[in-house]
Amino acid sequence: MSDARAGRHLPIIISLIIALTLAIAPLPLWAEPFRPDWVILTLIYWSMTFPGNYSVGVAWIVGLIVDVAQGTLLGQHALAFTIVIYVTVKFHLQLRQFPMLQLTATVFAVLGLYQFVLFWINGVAGVNAPMVTYWGPVLSGTAIWPLVTIVLVGVRQRARR
């Protein structure tokens, strides 16, 4: 890989590593159900921005890393990430044109799909969890989506320079 190519991918890889770190960082017990899904939010942004480079394959690999890091069923997050990123890449041209409010509503729906897949997999595996563990991340992720977008746009603009 050439230095120029590695330089283009480095900010994205670093942002995914930071998102993974935020996903496994300890939180107080009362805040744990409302932890935003940092990794999927970051993947949604990068797959919407660079759908050719960061799509289903990257989502699968990052999902396996999240499964190992969080100690969940192997492939659970990988499948959920893959489905969500497939939808994002499929409609990336429309999503890029949305105003922030409409994009935030769409991210709410996509995060709901993500949590539904996790809910379904946990149901099949016999894992019981309270509903707040599914709806809390959807609500908090939707609330911070504009902030995530602003930060990652800044990262992308700095990487261009």
The domain containing residue 139 runs over which residues? Answer: 3-25+33-160
Distance CA 47, CA 34 (A): 24
Question: Which DSSP string corresponds to the chain?
Answer: --HHHHHHHHHHHHHHHHHHHHHHS---TTTGGG---HHHHHHHHHHHH-TTTSSHHHHHHHHHHHHHHHT--TTHHHHHHHHHHHHHHHTHHHHHHS-HHHHHHHHHHHHHHHHHHHHHHHHHHT----THHHHHHHHHHHHHHHHHHHHHHHHHHHHH-
Report the pLDDT value the prediction gives residue 160, as an integer from 0 to 100: 82
Which pLDDT score is estimated for 49? 93
pLDDT by position in tens, the chain (length 161):
566 666 678 999 999 999 999 999 999 999 999 999 999 999 999 999 999 989 999 999 999 999 999 999 999 999 999 999 999 999 999 999 999 999 999 999 999 999 999 999 999 999 998 899 999 999 999 999 999 999 999 999 988 87
Q: Whole-model pTM?
A: 0.93
Structurally, how many domains does the chain consist of?
1
